């Protein structure tokens, strides 16, 4: 049979059986709108939801009652008191009808008075324990298992989900439960790693500046077979020594011309003896190849003199042309900065002077051929004289420029570890090959006719090689976090709080010597301690770190807020 609890006259009554409640309905104690709650339910509903109520009938006249009925009614036990005697355990079904109304009233009054005293005493105990618990939370901290659990244990011991509780007590129970939930959430809150980090490698790559003269590894091979074959025809033993010089910059025009002249002299003294017809042809070609410039008066006069060139007067013509070349260069230098027509004319003069120097080489070649024609022993003399003059100047210039000497192995192969990107064309102005002929040095440009092998290859050096050399030093140590966070919640008349520190994050500021700003990287506490201020962080270590625009910390997770 179902049991029901009633709420009558601001008092909770029950539980009652359906039969007992029907009797109360018949007596008028329970009305259709009386709050009623079936056993196991959590909310009050009108009694009409569970029982049938008949329409009220008004009697038109008073019924007569006999004296026996009046006496019997006086001794009949009130159903409500009857239920209370059985509910409190003061009587059972066999003895309850033996108690009259007067006795029941006296017994119940005394028992309920005792119950009120017990309830009052329990309230005092609960209030005292709760106050002590709040004090404990302040002393131990609600963020610990000790403080937070105290509230839950006290309330769990004395607060039940009982419909007899007042609204304030029920509210206190709910607030305490919610505070326990917040405590659990705060304990389980996860602090994520600071956001905004990215790989540091793109930034390191962008900051790396590789000089144009060091970005490649250049390999090549030298073969002096053409030169050695010509030396053998004249019984000259080739020198086994081969040197390669890497020039720091392109040779000036004067030096380049001397290198060209040296090659021409070498070709002249090693060439077969020419006959008269060959010499006349060379002379004719030389006269017709004069670099005439129509805008320069001196050019026409000099060309006219060379038309009557005589083989026994070649030396005088060489000196005449060399003088004209020097004068053209001098005047050009004086007028280049003056602007206007003078500056334009200076460009023409400089170009003409350079052409005259090249033409002088051809005149010298013809002179040497003539000397050799008359006396084969002059070959060695011509070579020695050149090397004691222009040749020695070439050697002195190579040494003065601090040209880099590149090792060459027995097969003529060489490798330049860090160099500019070279091909056949650029190598002609960057590399000089040197050997010796009868003790005299000869310098040959890359691409010379005396070199058989002119293979050269440039391979770009990986950027990681240069990145590994970068010296990123620690400038400062910084850290974030370690800030107090709090969860606040009101329980009853008091505001309780749960506190926790945000996690600590460590950063290094690193920079190179000439950098105007530094890079901010996230590290572990151990790594920050390992690299003090001023130490260099290796590239291999930097690659594993995240770059941040500035030191930052974790986002504060729910339910925490920053403590003020």
Q: Which two tokens stand for residue 185?
A: 């959430």
If DSSP codes are grouped into helix, strand and coil, which group holds residue 530?
Answer: helix
Which pLDDT value is given to residue 72?
53
Q: Which two tokens stand for residue 239?
A: 């020198």
Continuous segment of H or E residues that includes residue 473: strand 473-480
Of the given ranges (64-73, 207-216, 303-312, 387-396), which has the lowest mean pLDDT? Answer: 64-73
Which pLDDT value is given to residue 499?
92
Question: In whole numbers, what is the pLDDT of the chain averaged over residues?
Answer: 82
Report pLDDT digits (tens) over 196-237.
999 999 999 999 999 988 999 999 999 999 999 888 877 788
Which pLDDT value is given to residue 480?
96
Collect all residues with Cβ–Cβ distance below 8 Å to 389 and sequence separation of at least 6: none
- Of 555, 468, 548, 543, the C-alpha closest to 508 is 548
- Please give the radius of gyration of the chain, using alpha carbons only, rounded to the nearest integer: 58
Whether the Cβ atoms of residue 469 and residue 289 lie closer than 8 Å to each other: no
Continuous segment of H or E residues that includes residue 385: helix 378-386
Report pLDDT digits (tens) over 406-439.
999 988 999 999 999 999 889 999 999 999 988 8
Report pLDDT digits (tens) over 109-118.
777 777 676 6
pLDDT (average), residues 533-540: 95
Q: Is the model's pTM score more than 0.85?
A: no
Q: 141 pLDDT exceeds 50?
A: no
Of the given ranges (67-71, 150-154, 399-403), which has the lowest mean pLDDT? Answer: 150-154
More confident residue, 3 or 482: 482
Work out the percent of the chain whose per-residue pLDDT is above 70: 81
Q: Residue 179: which region, alpha, beta or left (left: phi > 0; alpha: psi -120 to 50)?
A: alpha
Cα 191 to the chain's mean position, in Å?
A: 21
Report pLDDT digits (tens) over 241-266.
899 999 999 999 899 999 999 998 88
Report pLDDT digits (tens) over 537-560.
999 999 999 999 999 999 999 999
Collect all residues with Cβ–Cβ distance below 8 Å to 259 and sequence separation of at least 6: 251, 394, 432, 443, 444, 445
More confident residue, 432 or 44: 432
């Amino acid at each position: 049979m179902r049991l029901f609890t009633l709420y009558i006259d601001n008092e909770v009554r029950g539980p009652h059986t359906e039969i007992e409640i029907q009797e109360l309905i018949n007596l008028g104690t329970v009305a259709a709108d009386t709050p009623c709650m079936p056993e196991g339910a959590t909310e009050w509903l009108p009694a009409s939801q569970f029982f049938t109520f008949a329409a009220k009938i008004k009697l038109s006249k008073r019924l007569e009652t006999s004296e026996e009925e009046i006496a019997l009614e006086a001794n009949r036990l009130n159903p409500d008191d009857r239920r209370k005697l059985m509910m409190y355990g003061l009587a059972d079904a066999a003895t309850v009808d033996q108690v009259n109304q007067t006795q029941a009233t006296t017994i119940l009054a005394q028992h309920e008075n005792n119950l009120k005293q017990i309830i009052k005493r329990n309230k005092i105990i609960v209030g005292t324990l709760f106050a002590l618990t709040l004090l404990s939370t302040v002393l131990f901290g609600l963020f610990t298992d000790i403080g937070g659990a105290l509230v839950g244990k006290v309330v769990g011991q004395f607060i039940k989900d009982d419909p007899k509780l007042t609204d304030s007590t029920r509210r206190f129970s709910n607030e305490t439960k919610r505070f326990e939930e917040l405590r659990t959430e705060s304990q389980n809150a996860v602090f994520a790693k600071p956001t905004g980090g990215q790989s540091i490698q793109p930034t390191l790559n962008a900051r790396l500046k590789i000089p144009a003269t060091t970005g490649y590894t250049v390999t090549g091979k030298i073969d002096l077979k053409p030169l050695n074959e010509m030396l053998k025809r004249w019984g000259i033993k080739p020198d086994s020594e081969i040197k390669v010089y890497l020039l720091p910059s392109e040779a000036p025009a004067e030096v380049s011309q001397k290198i060209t002249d040296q090659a021409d002299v070498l070709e002249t003294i090693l060439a077969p003896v020419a006959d008269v017809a060959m010499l006349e042809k060379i002379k004719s070609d030389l006269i017709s190849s004069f670099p005439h410039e129509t805008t320069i008066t001196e050019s026409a006069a000099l060309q006219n003199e060379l038309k009557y060139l005589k083989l026994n007067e070649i030396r005088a013509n060489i000196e005449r042309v060399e003088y004209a070349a020097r004068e053209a260069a001098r005047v050009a230098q004086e007028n280049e900065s003056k602007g206007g027509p003078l500056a334009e004319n200076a460009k023409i003069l400089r170009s003409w002077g350079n052409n005259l120097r090249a033409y002088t080489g051809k005149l010298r070649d013809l002179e040497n051929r003539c000397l050799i024609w008359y006396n084969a022993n002059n070959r060695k003399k011509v070579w020695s004289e050149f090397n004691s003059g222009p040749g020695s100047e070439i050697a002195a210039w190579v040494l003065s420029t601090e040209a880099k000497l590149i090792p060459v192995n027995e097969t003529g192969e060489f490798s330049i570890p860090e160099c500019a990107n070279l091909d056949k064309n650029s190598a002609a102005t960057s590399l000089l090959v040197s050997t010796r002929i009868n003790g005299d040095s000869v310098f040959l440009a890359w691409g010379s006719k005396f070199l058989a092998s002119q293979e050269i290859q440039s391979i770009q050096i990986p950027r990681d090689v240069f990145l590994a050399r970068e010296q990123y030093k620690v400038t400062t140590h910084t850290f974030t976090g370690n800030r107090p966070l709090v969860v606040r919640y009101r329980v009853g008349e008091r505001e309780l709080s749960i506190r926790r520190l945000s996690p600590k994050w460590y950063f290094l500021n690193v920079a190179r010597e000439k950098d105007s700003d530094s890079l901010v990287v996230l590290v572990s506490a151990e790594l920050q301690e390992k690299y003090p201020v001023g130490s260099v962080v290796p590239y291999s270590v930097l690659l594993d770190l995240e770059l941040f625009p500035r030191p930052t910390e974790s986002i504060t997770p729910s339910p925490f807020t920053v403590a003020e």
